[in-house]
Structure 1
Amino acid sequence: MSLPEPVRRRLSSFSRTVFTDTSRTGPEYQRDNIPDNEIVSSLPLQMSLYFNLFFFPFWWVSSVVMLQLKYPVLPDYYKFILVTVIILTSLIEFIRLYLGYMGNLQEKVPELAGFWLLSLLLQLPLILFLLLNDGLKIQPLERAVNIIFVIFLVFQVISAFLALKRMVNQLATRFRLHEFDRLDDELPPDNLAWKERRTETSWIVRPPVEEIHSTVGGWGSTVRA
């Protein structure tokens, strides 16, 4: 299963706009001599996703148990808000982890950009709401698991941002190199032959300057005679 094509195009355009390094002026620019086929998946991000995958069921069980215990003493509007937030957080987390795995392991920029946007714009504000809103009658277990969740999210936002920059810059380098190779392939045969003749003639040894001067002097004495 992959993202719909319109969503992929929009995320690709967003990634090129936000994460492209504008200091790269051409395919000859290779920072730190990074090879073109280097694996740019982020190991710290993948480790964070792996541990997050095992942590999320524990967070969900803790949140549901605490909700059941404090549900009778909560105001009606907080009951609705808390239930809605837990449902939204659960749905977003499944999508977020899937996009993170796909984008990082397979080096797919749209999926990883979707993971980064979901983490930064949706999941992190929801967890901060659960952590900082005292009207929800936050219990110690809830506070502990939400703090751990926030740490996961902040780390993943930063590491995904760095991984996206590397992926987008490498894709831009590959594209420019491919364009240069295609221009060389499309060069007419006459131009290629002209380039070869020019290369060969550049290696012809010209006569020394002294020999030229002596030849010119000989011609001048002949003319005077």
Structure 2
Amino acid sequence: MQTPLPPNLRKGLTTFSGSLFINNKTGDCVVAQPYQAGHVVLSSLPLQMMLYFNAFYFPFWCLSEGVMLELKYCLLPTYYQVLHVAAYLMIILVEGSRLYLGYLGNLQEKVPELAGFVLLSFLIETPTLLFILADPYVLKLPLEIAVHLVLLLFLTSEITAASFALRGMTKQLAMQFYLKQFEEGPDRARPGERSTRGGPQWRKVSWGSQAPVSPAPTPLST
């Protein structure tokens, strides 16, 4: 269904939304994904919104954490200096990969990419962030605590939404697999075998090994 907007304005909005959200699945998009009839879109809108705002928040987190680390670096013991720098670099590397996998897995409904997003969020970034927040011997500044808490809120919300999206995608894939198996079915003749559906009664045997089964003759009445 076309929108009542002027064509030029609608085309501009479509181009803007396509460049903003990487992949536009609406019918107005010039390069829309070819879905089959009856296809259910399983992408999670809440997850996509959180990923979008997280991508804008992450540069602010990097800048704030870099300034805070510079201010307290000389006050930390040597081993905590190494741990802080390592944790800071790890979160930066993981966050970039995590957001990319989240966008790709959610928009294109790919289970492996979305599962990788959940694993990176839950097994690597969340423990590292909790270490920085919960260690009592780490000098924590108020701004640092605030930006870490906001990032932790993004992480927990995204993990929850991605888990529900993964559950729906896996159920849909399992249903498609069983339907495909049902369509192929055991009644479909394999190569070199004759089917039992329709026509004369044939036994399901290899070619040339058995003649057609004819019905038993009825005795003649005297």
Instruction: Report if TM-score (shorter chain) is over 0.5.
Output: yes
**Larger-Rg structure:** 1
Q: 1:8 maps to which residue?
A: none
The residue identity in structure 2 corresponding to 1:179 is Q
Residues of 2 paired with 1:168 and 1:45: CA distance?
17
Q: 2:46 maps to which residue?
A: 44
Where do 4+ consecutive residues of structure 1 move more than 6 Å? none
Equivalent residue in structure 2 for 1:121, among 109, 120, 123 = 123
Unaligned runs of 5+ in 1: 1-34, 195-225
Q: 1:70 maps to which residue?
A: 72
TM-score of the aligned structures, taking structure 1 as reference length:
0.68
Distance 1:190 1:122, change over 3 A: closer
The residue identity in structure 1 corresponding to 2:95 is E
Residue 191 (structure 1) aligned with residue 196 (structure 2): yes
Query: Given that residues 187 and 195 in structure 2 are in contact (C-alpha distance below 8 angstroms), is that contact kept between their aligned partners in structure 1?
Result: no
RMSD of equivalent CA atoms: 1.9
Instruction: Give aligned pairs, total.
Output: 161
Residue 56 (structure 1) aligned with residue 31 (structure 2): no
TM-score of the aligned structures, taking structure 2 as reference length:
0.69
Q: 1:84 maps to which residue?
A: 86
* Partner-residue secondary structure (3-state), 1:135: coil
Query: Given that residues 36 and 174 in structure 1 are in contact (C-alpha distance below 8 angstroms), is that contact kept between their aligned partners in structure 2?
Result: no
Q: How does 1:126-141 map to 2 (within 5 A)?
A: 126-141=128-143
Distance 1:110 1:189, change over 3 A: same
Q: How many angstroms does 1:118 deviate by?
A: 0.6
Residues of 1 paired with 2:52 and 2:195: CA distance?
58
The residue identity in structure 1 corresponding to 2:43 is S
Q: How many angstroms does 1:186 deviate by?
A: 2.6
Same amino acid, percent of matched pairs: 47
Give CA-to-partner distance per residue, 1:136-182, whole Å, 9 cap, x none: 21000000000001100000111111000000010000011011112
Q: 1:144 maps to which residue?
A: 146
Q: How many angstroms does 1:189 deviate by?
A: 6.4
Unaligned runs of 5+ in 2: 1-36, 200-222
Which structure would you say has the larger RCO, counting Cα contacts within 8 Å and 6 or more residues apart?
1
